Structure 1
Amino acid sequence: MNAIAPASASAAIHTWSTDTVPPAQRLDYWVGAVCEGFLEMDVTSPAAGDFGATLVSAPLGPIVVNEVRGSAQDVYRTRRAIAQSRHNYFYLLCKTDSAWVAVQDGRAARLLPGDAVLVDSRRLYEFHLLQSADTISLELPTAWVDAWLPDAGDLVARRIDGQAGWGGVLSSFVRQLTPALATNPPLPAELLGDQLGGLLALAMGHGPVQAPDAGRAALRRRVLEATRERHAEPGLTAAGVARGLGISERSLHRCLGEGATTFATALAGFRMQAAQRMLRDVRFDRLSIAEIGFRVGLADASHFVRQCRRHLGGTPGELRRRR
């Protein structure tokens, strides 16, 4: 099998498809070129005679967004593949069109449409995709996951309910992270990563199980106040706020999670509060919409308009006219 060459001309988004080979060779191509050469897995399929599949992949900061479409198949992470791997990751997978099964560490997660599941590529796993392979799979660096989930190894192959609670919020967020979005993200990749990490921690039960102690509550107030004070800085990240406070980024995310929020949510809220004040005040009418957006930390005027519509219920122009 020749080395894999992306079918896409883009430098950021890559596509592999069985459509590039004759029908009789498609399963072999998928197994050899894609699953063994790229994903380092073995695959069998009950649809061998009529098999088809496509993988589209794009980076989003440290995360890689993979979108798979294809025929029913059984996927196996083998000892041989693990031994040959130069890099290892956690994978967060979400499938919306049909039920499927993920197996790792002796646990079998029976997943309904919309559910999510976490697996570790350093250990054997199986996926039984009974009707189709249509899945969003997020490739997460192990160090990144460990920063959010200190006990991540104990959480693999556990069903994350995609219809309720924080699992439902996580599932909705994951389904938005397509390769196409990764190439043109609506927010900085770091902020989207923060949002994903916070939601993953909450969905896995690292939210407010009990009332936090006074020290943790005080730290959360410090984090929120620092975020409020610095909200106008373009490109502000959780790491930057944590450095300013002399704490670890993990501590920042954990204390916010105990208050049932995330850094990205808090930052957007402070920016929109400031924008709303200016749009309601006639003294700021001399400023353009783009200038108000810049003053609240959103240098992209079109992104500012989208954020106002989402959080405040109208475009900046509409909000001015309503006062």
Structure 2
Amino acid sequence: MAARTAAVIEKWSTGLVEPERRLDYWIGAVCECFLEMDITTPVRSGFDCSVQRGQLDTIGINRVEGSAQHVYRRKASLGRSASNYYYLLCKTDNDWTVMQNGHWSILQPHDLVLLDSRRCYEFNFPVTANTLSLELPIAWVESWVTDPERRAGQRIDGRTGWGAALSAFACQLSPHLAVDLPLPAQVLTDQLGGLLALAAGSEIPATPSEQREAGNLLDQIGRAIRLLYAEPGLTAASVAEHLRVSERTVHRCLNKSGLTFSGVLNDCRMAVARRMLSEARFDHIGVGGIGLRVGLSDPSHFIRQCRRYLGMTPAAFRRQR
């Protein structure tokens, strides 16, 4: 099996083994890909499942497809796991159920649920097992969500409010991002974290000193982004270092106003790009050069951003003025 790196897509499929061995193979594959779990299935013949896995920075992206099944993580398995995670699960094709912290939740297509692998859980896929499962480091989740253990097992409505935004974004993630990143990995994981915090309805707890400074911190973050936006690969960590606060404080401050770092940065960059493309005095600078001046060194990425923010390519926007 290939080592887990940011450039590898791992694959498991019961189609590789004889029909009578498929369930045993699948249990082993799931334990290898996730954590130790037990599985039963009502499918007596023709059982078939597969999983693809990619690594996006510190987050594992798993796409599971296959037959109906009931999955358990019991006390006997908890002590055998060398590492633990939170898992964010979402299905888009049919209803399913999940249990953790002593209560059952019925989830409909596009709903999500956060599960804590340090506690027992079970979920039932009565029709298909087609699922997105995001493997999230515990420390990463705790940096975004207040008291995630209490939220584990609770349904996140994937059709309204921030839950709908989280569901739509999460469902665009695939293992293939491991080899074909549309944006830097940290930009994508920051976006996921911000949406998860908003969908969970949580605020990251601030220290007393951070609370005293919260009144003007949002303005400071905005000024720092406007100062540093031209740096390719600018991150929230860089802005936090510039402001001498923690990265977590930057994200928290933005989340309270319904914002994300990547969103504010992109808005700033594209506002500058719009101005430069609109003014004749910048016509001597090529489209790629304008992208570089706003911190977007990849020309194709700059063009995609222009289509999104301006509704057309940068060259077309320049011609139509």
TM-score by length of 1: 0.93
Per-residue CA deviation, residues 270-322 of structure 1 (Å, 9 max, x unaligned), is 01101101111111111111111111111100010001101111110111011
Per-residue CA deviation, residues 174-207 of structure 1 (Å, 9 max, x unaligned), is 0011111232111111111111100000000026
Q: Which residue of structure 2 aligns with residue 184 of structure 1?
A: 180
Q: In structure 2, what is the Cα distance between the partners aligned to 1:107 and 1:215?
A: 40
Q: Which residue identity is paired with 2:49?
A: A
Answer yes or no: is the 8 Å Cα contact 1:57–1:65 preserved in 2.
Answer: yes
Q: In structure 1, what is the Cα distance between the partners aligned to 2:203 and 2:282?
A: 40
Q: Secondary structure at the match of 1:229?
A: helix
Query: How far apart are 1:15 and its partner, in Å?
Result: 0.5
The total of aligned residue pairs comes to 314
Q: In structure 2, what is the Cα distance between the partners aligned to 1:166 and 1:200?
A: 8
Matched, 1:97 2:93: yes
Q: Which residue of structure 1 aligns with residue 263 of structure 2?
A: 265
Q: Which residue identity is paired with 1:292?
A: I
Q: Which residue identity is paired with 1:238?
A: A
Q: Secondary structure at the match of 1:302?
A: helix
Q: In structure 1, what is the Cα distance between the partners aligned to 2:270 and 2:185?
A: 20
Q: Which residue of structure 2 aligns with residue 291 of structure 1?
A: 289
Q: Which residue of structure 1 aligns with residue 60 of structure 2?
A: 64
Identity value in percent: 49
Q: Which residue of structure 2 aligns with residue 232 of structure 1?
A: 230
After superposition, the CA RMSD in angstroms is 1.9
Q: Which residue identity is paired with 2:142?
A: D
Query: How far apart are 1:246 and its partner, in Å?
Result: 1.1
Q: Which residue of structure 2 aligns with residue 138 of structure 1?
A: 134
Q: In structure 1, what is the Cα distance between the partners aligned to 2:94 and 2:122?
A: 17
Q: Which residue of structure 2 aligns with residue 206 of structure 1?
A: 202
Q: Secondary structure at the match of 2:119?
A: coil
Query: How far apart are 1:158 and its partner, in Å?
Result: 0.9
Answer yes or no: is the 8 Å Cα contact 2:145–2:203 preserved in 1.
Answer: no
Matched, 1:172 2:164: no
Give the unaligned 5+ runs of structure 2: 205-210
Q: Secondary structure at the match of 2:250?
A: helix
Per-residue CA deviation, residues 27-54 of structure 1 (Å, 9 max, x unaligned), is 11101x2123332211111113111011
Q: In structure 2, what is the Cα distance between the partners aligned to 1:150 and 1:182?
A: 29
Q: In structure 1, what is the Cα distance between the partners aligned to 2:123 and 2:260?
A: 31
Matched, 1:78 2:74: yes
- Aligned with 1:36 (options 26, 31, 42): 31
Q: Which residue identity is paired with 2:149?
A: G
Answer yes or no: is the 8 Å Cα contact 1:7–1:16 preserved in 2.
Answer: no
Q: Which residue of structure 2 aligns with residue 219 of structure 1?
A: 217
Q: Which residue of structure 2 aligns with residue 14 of structure 1?
A: 10
Per-residue CA deviation, residues 110-156 of structure 1 (Å, 9 max, x unaligned), is 11100111010111010111111101111000000011113111111
Give the unaligned 5+ runs of structure 1: none
Q: Secondary structure at the match of 2:155?
A: coil
Q: Which residue identity is paired with 1:161?
A: D
- Aligned with 1:318 (options 311, 316, 319): 316
